[in-house]
A = this chain, B = another copy of it.
Amino acid sequence: MALYVQKFGGTSVGSVDRIKAVAERVQRFRSEGHQVVVVVSAMSGETNRLIELAGQINDDPTPREMDMLVSTGEQVTISLLAMALHRLGVAATSYTGAQVGIQTDSAHTRARIQKIETDDIRADLDDGQVVVVAGFQGVDEEGNITTLGRGGSDTTGVALAAALGADECQIYTDVDGVYTTDPRVCSAARRLETITVEEMLEMASLGSKVLQIRAVEFAGKYNVPLRVLSSFEEGPGTLIVAEEEESANMEEPLISGIAFNTNEAKLTVLNTPDVPGVALKILGPISDAGIEVDMIVQNVAPTGDYTDFTFTVAKSDFRQTQRILEQQVLPSLGSGEVRGDDRIAKVSLVGVGMRSHAGVATRMFGVLGQEGINIRMVSTSEIKISVVIDEKFLELAVRSLHTAFGLDQQNIRQEG
């Protein structure tokens, strides 16, 4: 007998039929003798419907009232799922975040879990009940309803699993696991059996939307075995493990996955004086405007007196950043020229294996060079190498790298 925390997202409970299907899946686990805590999100579309209602009334609603409003979404789902379980003869009780004792701070719409009361849940589980918990929500010390921010249901699931010492936290989604890369871009992409927490964090921060970053961090911190799997089909999914476990695997690959996004734009300030403090002069006004900068590269010009300063921002901030550079930064620098490009793509190799292997960057550059793809920027971390290339080369780059690093389906688990 094991204790599972199973989290089902909005798509997985998006209709009456989907809720019934979730109930059947939970019933199977119960009939095998396992204890089950189910965490659910709002039915897909419901949260947006509520946000839209609010927007029609107040274009700047207080976070407390937003939480009061949107937390009804999960409350609807938990009651419907409990009813669906009862229909199958499965004993079940639903709880809101407040009822089950998910205590958070008071940072409405992005609250952090502080502690979870587990006595009542344990009593219910021991009583043979399936415990159905509203994800994404909690309660602060004053009894106000809080929410954990979008995707917070993953965090609820992992936090509950940690608090209960569950054997596994299963995150059911509309994909059947974590892939080496996006199968829509590279048909040779394959599902990973396992991935380390660190790799998963890099993949998530690079735009792979399978799991919320905070949930993965939480799982890593509290050593919760986390599994991503499909709520629509059977399959083992992908297990996200602490690194030590993964390293026990003799066939550990050099690279676990290739992440990419096309949501950034690149800006360069050419021929700025190469003096101390220039980076601050350039980036200060930009961060003052609330714009987040991702990659940063500074090249020293051959003469040594001038430098080129390049960075990326979200595509949606591109025009504003360009204006700030031209109207504020250039005058303050006294020289230079601004170039911008919003037709770029960022491609990243991710893998804990690269820690112990030199030359991953060299091989990456070689593969891209062979395909005639120019590299515009590079940034590296311990388990990641990211390059910026022209957007039009994105698919070509991903596919070539996927093959070159041995990730293609026919090469499963072959050392790259």
Q: Does the CB pair A76–B72 fall under 8 Å? A: yes
- A96 CB, nearest partner CB in chain B, Å: 8
Most B Cβ at <10 Å: residue of A61, A69, A98: A69
B contact residues around A19 at 8 Å (CB): 57
Asked whether, in the complex, the Cβ of A69 is within 8 Å of the Cβ of B76, the reply is yes
Nearest B-chain residue to A144, judged by Cβ = B99
Q: Is A56 an interface residue (CB 8 A)?
A: yes
A83 near B99: Cβ-Cβ < 8 Å: no
**A65 CA to B99 CA in the complex, in Å?**
14
How does the 8 Å CB contact mask read for A58-81 relative to B, with 1 for contact and 0 for none?
A: 100110111011011001101110
Question: Would A50 and B76 count as touching, CB distance under 8 A?
Answer: yes
Which residues of chain B have C-beta atoms less than 8 A from A93's C-beta? 64
Question: Interface 1/0s, chain A 88-108, versus B by CB < 8 A?
Answer: 000001101011000000000
| Chain B residues within 8 Å of A69, by CB | 75-76, 79-80, 83
Q: Does A392 contact B (CB under 8 A)?
A: no
| Across-interface contacts of A64 in B (CB, < 8 A) | 93
Once the chains bind, are A61 and B75 in contact (CB under 8 Å)?
A: no
Complex-state Cα separation, A75 to B71, whole angstroms: 9
The one of B53, B79, B94 that contacts A80, using a Cβ cutoff of 8 Å: B53
A198 → chain B closest CB, angstroms: 39
Identify whether the interface residues of A are mostly helix, strand, loop, or mixed.
Answer: helix
A93 to B108, CA, bound (A): 14
Cα distance, A371 to B25, chains bound together (Å): 69
Q: Which residues of B contact A75 (CB under 8 A)?
A: 68-69, 71-72, 75
**Are A57 and B80 in contact, CB atoms less than 8 angstroms apart?**
yes
CA of A83 to CA of B65, assembled, Å: 7
A20: chain B residues within 8 A (beta carbon): 57
Residue A150 lies at the interface, judged by CB distance under 8 Å to chain B = no
| Residues on the B chain within 8 Å of A84, using CB | 57-58
| A62: nearest chain-B partner, CB-CB | B86
A226 to chain B, nearest CB (A): 28
Interface residues as binary, A159-193 with B (CB distance below 8 Å gives 1, 0 otherwise): 00000000000000000000000000000000000
Q: Which residue of B lies closest to A64 (CB)?
A: B93
Q: How far is the CB of A48 from chain B (nearest CB, A)?
A: 14
Q: Which residues of B contact A82 (CB under 8 A)?
A: 62, 65, 68
If A57-B83, A58-B86 are given as contacts, then 15 extra A-B residue pairs at C-beta distance below 8 Å, sorted by A number, are A20-B57, A53-B76, A53-B80, A57-B84, A61-B83, A65-B82, A65-B86, A65-B94, A66-B79, A69-B75, A69-B76, A69-B79, A69-B80, A71-B75, A99-B144
Q: List 19 A-B contacts (CB under 8 A).
A: A20-B57, A50-B76, A53-B76, A57-B80, A57-B84, A57-B87, A58-B83, A58-B86, A58-B87, A61-B86, A62-B82, A65-B82, A68-B79, A71-B75, A72-B72, A96-B145, A98-B98, A99-B144, A99-B145
